[in-house]
Amino acid sequence: MRELVTTDPARAAECLGNGGLAALPTETVYGLAADAEQVAAVRRVFAVKGRPAGHPLIVHLGDPAALDDWAVEIPEVARDLVAACWPGPLTVLLRRSPRVSDDVTGGRDTVGLRVPAHPGTAGVLARLGDRAVAAPSANRFGRVSPTSAGHVVADLGDRLDAHRDCVLDGGPATIGVESTIVDCTGVPQILRPGGISTDAIEAIVAGPLAPRSGPSRAAGMLAGHYAPRAAVHVVAGPDAAAALERALTGRTVAGRTATVRIIDGRDDLVAWARTLYADLRRADDDGIDHVVAVRPPAEGLGHALRDRLAKAAASAPTR
């Protein structure tokens, strides 16, 4: 039987060209890709993920120069952002060109575009020439994003077909949280904090940025998302974490004492971003009932970490 997982970018490009799906490594998280212009393949991405139609997909390009093929009315600020950040963890939201289908954008007249920075996936996109791939994160809808090929197989392996699909193993993601999404269709606004810090975006925009309040709010972004099966709690500091751990450990879940794990990566936010999703998955694998996270500071990758933890905490535990 053919293996689902491969390390060969040529096979991933072949799957995509033939209308199959390929899970692709990126520096942020793994994506589940389809040729952006093959409607049946794009629809299968939604089916495989269990993602409701109408939640738009990011279109991934191999070359920043392809920007003008996929978007129109591109403002200078978007050009500045992509010049500074691509390839890299930035998604810009722009008016879509006629090449972008309703299936990709859920009928919106905007498209999210990004050039990922990963050598394996760059190799796939180069082989696809002037085509592009639409790809959401390669997890089941609502769950924790995958930062390794093993995570993708654990989530979606039984829904993919090794004869037409594949998972390109490009090693663990180096950034570990999703791209920063900046809406450039009006006054620029960060819709989702991510791999490029808010400070860096502000420095590049060098002008007004529309304020962002509350959790990320791009279309299809629900309050509850990025969730492990365990209940996630976010607390202000280590003392509060220890107190909550004591309180929760006294409880019983299904006739046994609840298990609690504290996570606190504030001493190195870059390392915390890289490992957060793997740590949440490991907590589930280890049968942990409650994850207590110490809230990261609002600096650097701390904005993205706060956002993901708040969403994980807003989701009802399924354990």
Q: How far is it, in rounded angstroms, from Cα 118 to Cα 36?
A: 19
Which candidate, 93, 121, 119, places its Cα nearest to that of 105?
93
Residue 302 site contact among Mg ion, ligand TXA, none (CB < 5 to 8 Å, cut-off depends on kind): none
CA–CA separation, 112 and 318 (whole Å): 31
Closer to Mg ion by Cβ: residue 155 or 289: 155
Cα separation of 227 and 225, whole Å? 5
Of the pair 36, 111, the CB lying nearest ligand TXA is at: 111
Number of amino acids touching ligand TXA (CB under 6 A): 28
Radius of gyration, CA atoms only, the chain: 19
Near ligand TXA by CB under 6 A, which window of 159-167, 219-227, 239-247, 299-307?
219-227
By CB under 6 A, the residues from 22 to 61 that bind ligand TXA are 26, 28-29, 31, 55-58
Q: Which of 172, 220, 224, 317 lies at the binding interface for ligand TXA (CB under 6 A)? A: 220
**Distance of closest approach, residue 81 Cβ to Mg ion, in angstroms:** 21
Q: Of 233 and 303, which has the nearer Cβ to ligand TXA?
A: 303
* Continuous segment of H or E residues that includes residue 243: helix 238-249
CA distance 248 to 250: 5
E strands of 169-288, at which residues?
Answer: 180-183, 189-192, 231-235, 252-253, 256-257, 260-263
Per CB under 6 A, 108 contacts ligand TXA? yes
Among 26, 91, 121, 137, which residue sits at the site for Mg ion (rule: CB under 5 A)? 137
Give the amino acid at 287: G
Q: What is the DSSP letter of 66?
A: G
Residues of the shown chain interacting with ligand TXA in the complex, contacts defined by CB under 6 A: 26, 28-29, 31, 55-58, 89, 91, 93, 105, 108, 110-112, 114, 116, 135-137, 178-179, 181, 218-221
Residues of the shown chain interacting with Mg ion in the complex, contacts defined by CB under 5 A: 137
